[in-house]
């Protein structure tokens, strides 16, 4: 299984629409990736359609902190 990439724009969209089941699925996959020893990449889409990586989560604690931040705004 390769590294897992999360498009932060998608997370923000799901926050606005209260897409809790889909958010849970994303975080479950991310946790599985980290447990297997692979990183979770956070990236954002540029206006030109390209993506840039701005963070990398490598521990379950990092992922839990990010998840808490995401769900705080629901």
Going by pLDDT thresholds of 50, 70 and 90, the confidence category of residue 1 is low
What is the structure's pLDDT at 69?
A: 95
pLDDT in tens, 33-57: 999 999 999 999 888 989 999 999 9
Task: Give the number of C-alpha atoms closer than 13 A to the C-alpha of residue 33, restricted to the C-beta side.
Answer: 21
Burial of residue 47 (CB within 10 Å: 0-12, 13-18, 19+) is exposed
List of domains in the chain: 4-72 (3.40.1620)
Model-level pTM?
0.90
Q: Please, what is the average pLDDT of the chain?
A: 94
């Amino acid at each position: 299984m390769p590294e897992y990439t999360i498009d932060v724009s998608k997370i923000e969209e799901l926050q606005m629409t209260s897409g809790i089941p889909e958010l849970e699925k994303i975080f479950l996959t991310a946790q599985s990736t980290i447990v297997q020893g692979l990183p979770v990449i956070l990236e954002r889409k540029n206006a030109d359609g390209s993506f840039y990586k701005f963070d990398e989560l490598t521990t379950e604690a990092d992922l839990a902190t990010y998840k808490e931040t995401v769900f705080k705004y629901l």
